[in-house]
Structure formats: structure tokens, C-alpha cells
């Protein structure tokens, strides 16, 4: 298993109390795709350098986990279907 980082930007229209539920939802998707040793870092609301989907702000969350390459492909497909995610990026960490 390899170690990956997923940076997810959540839409700013979601209230602060709902953010934790969305983070739990993303964590469960990572687990369903075979992810293990999941850590979550909330970076908070940040302003973009340029608009994304007509939004100028977003809530950043960094997920670190171990997973197989096949599981990462499944995870990316699952994250694309979430309407509250503006952008996400998955990077393999160097060993």
C-alpha cells in the first residue's frame, strides 16, 4: 500500500456545523475504497486566487491515508460525484 494525500475544497455555502458531516462522508468513502490510517487536517475557509465554479472561497481539508492504486481510482470517481466538492487533488507521497 502506498501513502496518499487528498486535498479537498468544499463549497462555502455549507454551514460550519455541516462541514464535519461532509468530512465524515468523505472519510467513509476513503474507507470503502480500501483506505487505511486516515488522518484529517482542517485548513479552514480560504480565498481563491481565481474563481472556481463562480465561488471565490472554499473550505480546505487535507486527508492523508494509505491505499492501493486501484482504490485511489475508485476514490477519485466517487469524489467527482459529490456536488459539495469544488475541487480535489490526490498525490502519492514519496516513500
> Residues 49-67: pLDDT tens digits?
999 999 999 999 999 999 9
CA geometry: angle 89, 4, 93, nearest 5 deg: 100
What is the CATH code of the structural domain delimited by 2-92? 3.30.70.60
Residue 95 has pLDDT above 80, yes or no: no
Residue 81 has pLDDT above 80, yes or no: yes
Q: What pLDDT was estimated at residue 74?
A: 93
User: Would you place residue 94 in the very low, low, confident or very high pLDDT band (cuts 50, 70, 90)?
Assistant: confident
Q: What pLDDT was estimated at residue 13?
A: 94
pTM score: 0.92
Q: What pLDDT was estimated at residue 78?
A: 93
- For β-strands 36-52 and 85-92, DSSP reports them as unpaired
Q: How far is 1 from 7, CA to CA, in rounded Å?
A: 19
Using the 8-state DSSP alphabet, how is residue 84 labeled? T
Higher pLDDT, 17 or 39: 39
Q: How many other C-beta atoms can be found within 10 angstroms of the C-beta atom of residue 19?
A: 18
Amino acid at each position: 500500500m502506498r501513502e496518499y494525500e487528498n486535498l479537498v475544497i468544499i463549497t462555502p455555502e455549507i454551514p460550519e456545523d455541516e462541514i464535519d458531516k461532509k468530512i465524515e462522508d468523505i472519510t467513509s468513502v476513503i474507507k470503502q475504497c480500501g483506505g487505511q490510517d486516515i488522518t484529517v487536517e482542517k485548513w479552514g475557509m480560504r480565498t481563491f486566487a481565481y474563481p472556481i465554479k463562480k465561488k471565490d472561497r472554499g473550505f480546505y481539508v487535507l486527508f492523508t491515508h494509505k491505499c492501493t492504486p486501484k482504490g485511489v481510482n475508485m476514490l477519485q470517481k466517487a469524489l467527482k460525484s459529490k456536488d459539495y466538492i469544488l475541487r480535489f487533488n490526490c498525490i502519492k507521497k514519496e516513500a
